[in-house]
Structure 1
Amino acid sequence: MHRGKGMKFVGDSRIPAERKPNIPKDYSEYPGKTEAFWPNFLLKEWMVGAVFLIGFLCLTVAHPSPLERVADPTDTNYIPLPDWYFLFLYQLLKYTYASGPYNVIGAFIIPGLAFGGLLLAPFIDRGPERRPLKRPFATGFMLLALASIIFLTWESVATHDWEAAKAQGEIKEEVDVEIDKNAEGYQLYQKNGCVGCHGDTLTGSGANPSLVDTGLKPEEVAKIAKEGRGAMPPGMFKGTDEELAKLAEYISTLESKK
């Protein structure tokens, strides 16, 4: 602007003088290969996500999660089981090459390579094609990952001892019983390591049954101690026959308060 010459306006070609409506780009020249992210693609994603979310909500209402007994840190026989979506990793850690001294391989290296491959897949396969057959790397990798997860999950479910799992987590009514820890029978009970499975109060823990109110005769108790029963293997009692008779007599007389 110069004095006495008036004012001059300079326009910017980057700013349109007229506001145009927000119309998505025409993708008709690329049929089946690309589409507008909003609203076409995003709307499909939301619809699929809503269907799965409603399905999961209905499943949780129809089949609520089962409750187990209160956690007992002294129960060394309890075998935890992860949720279903981690069963494939749980099964992987059962194999020799991924457990024990090789636990780092099963817990970190193999899952790290798998998930790292998923993260790198968009950078490795950058083709514009959307048909699975024309994207062999991405399609093959996803099919391999899916087949591995399904196989390992199936193996975990098929090989797990569900009866023992149900017994170890079963909510049991607390038994009120007076235990004379100075009695000879209790001393033999402790001496032979029975406490580790049946507890200080002889009421059992997890899958190990209670020794109170068994209704068994002394000779039946002695037979189980020698020959075993259920999850209890034979030969657990290491004492003499006289000690076994006293222990069996002691266990057969244990009764809870009514």
Structure 2
Amino acid sequence: MLSVTPIPAMSDNYIWLLRQDTSDSVCVVDPGDAATVIEWLEREGLTLGTILITHHHPDHTGGLAELIKRYSPRVIGPHNPAISGIEERVGDGDEVRVMGRLFEVLEVPGHTLDHIAFFTAGIPPLLFCGDVLFSGGCGRLFEGSAEQMHHSLTRLAPLPEDALVFAAHEYTLANLEFAKAADPDNRDIREAEQECLRARELERPTLPSTMGRERRINPFLRCGDPAIRKAAAEHGATDTDLATFTTLRAWKDAF
């Protein structure tokens, strides 16, 4: 059995920890803070065998140097020489075996130019998508273009209905506020919001989501939907998926 556990870090990050029940060696995804990871591992009597990195931002790589020094793990990440410590640099279509599962690497630029995601089609399917796809939203365009981000999301959208979406931030409720503005008649968004409110009241994460749920509630995955097109048109979009996405992203930035 492979389990995935969130380690809350900083103000709203999740460092995802992957563990097989037959081993005390684990994998973490995007360890922005070493102390949080070390505390968790020592409390649980675990050791760190692998690190996955999705992109270069400090809140995803800040703990890398200290964790490498302490545990000497295998480190897998994008072809960006600015990220020191990566020993296996991977790109689109590469495959890596982690915790007994074969993960496909997907290049998904937009938030950053070096951004990658890790997907495994096992049972259940798992997607570690960093800051590209959030529940109810998507990442800001810090380096890439709207066209790149839109293309990246169209690559993720067809993943299986039951694929678990492990985004890196607890942004869900804020994203759903925007989703309601972009698609006010969508009952699925309101139901998701109530579920997420209950989770947060219990101090539980709103993640993972599923790809099926995101196809129903996430406006950035639904740029061809007439309701989303209509809302975007009221903010200046022309009638194309890319124009709709570009307008949605600019609208969300100012929301």
Q: TM-score range by the shorter chain?
A: under 0.3
Q: Which has the higher strand share?
A: 2
**Greater length-normalized contact order (CA 8 Å, ≥ 6 residues apart):** 1
Q: Which has the higher helix share?
A: 1
What TM-score does the superposition give when structure 2 sets the normalisation length? Answer: 0.20
